[in-house]
Amino acid sequence: MQLARAAFAALAAVMITFSPDHSAAIGMSVFSGWAIATAIVFLLSIWLVYPAGRRWPSVLLGILTIVAGMVGGVATLRTTTAFFVVVIAWAILAGIVETVAGARTRRALRGSDDLQARGEARDGVVVGIITILLGLALPLVPTQYALDYYIEDAHRSFTLTGITIGVGIYGAYAAIVAVYLAIAAFSPRASTTAPAADDALAESAPTSPDQGGAA
């Protein structure tokens, strides 16, 4: 699940990074595709990954993300205002859900030997906080901002707009999440069976003559 989320986030980051057009239409298109693909991962994990009692975060995240993706897929809503409204609303709600779910799971598993579940809970808290930060950063960008500048080497004038900054912030968010989740997916989990295996090997090892005589 972490690797699938990382792959889709990386794809979104690459599309935005290498696109010369950071307009609302492009930003909403990339966000919509990423959101729907990520929502499918969440919804499939309900049956394929999590047992009963631990499925509610995936249900909520799947619903929130697929709704945001479907709204972003409406061509008439691909405007500057809609981009900021949709992405901010999704980031705040989804970030809170993932952070709270991860924190509750960590508290419930405190002292548990299920290192994989504890690691996933920690990753959920981190990604949730990063998502909330996305939702808090975008409102700071003035949507009507426009700065004209000229680059001598290119012999062209350019305009830095609010939507360009907003789409760039979303692209940076996608890149950070992709790197973090990829590292988490490939990080080995410590084995809880190692001490038991060591004890079993010690018990099965032949005793030395000195030990036998001492016995």
pLDDT at 193: 40
pLDDT at 213: 44
pLDDT at 152: 65
pLDDT: which is higher, 188 or 16: 16
Q: What is the pLDDT of residues 85-103, one digit of tens each?
A: 999 999 999 999 999 999 9
Asked if the model's pLDDT at residue 202 lies above 80, the reply is no
CB 120 within 8 A of CB 132: no
**Highest-confidence range of 46-55, 99-108, 153-162, by mean pLDDT?**
99-108
CA separation (Å) from 176 to 10, 58, 71, 197? 9, 21, 24, 38
pLDDT at 209: 46
Q: What is the pLDDT of residues 66-80, one digit of tens each?
A: 999 999 999 888 999
Task: Please give the Cα distance from 9 to 161 (Å, whole number).
Answer: 24
Q: pTM of the full predicted structure?
A: 0.82
Region of residue 158 (phi > 0: left; psi between -120 and 50: alpha; otherwise: beta) = beta
Task: Please give the Cα distance from 40 to 53 (Å, whole number).
Answer: 20
Task: Please give the Cα distance from 131 to 87 (Å, whole number).
Answer: 10
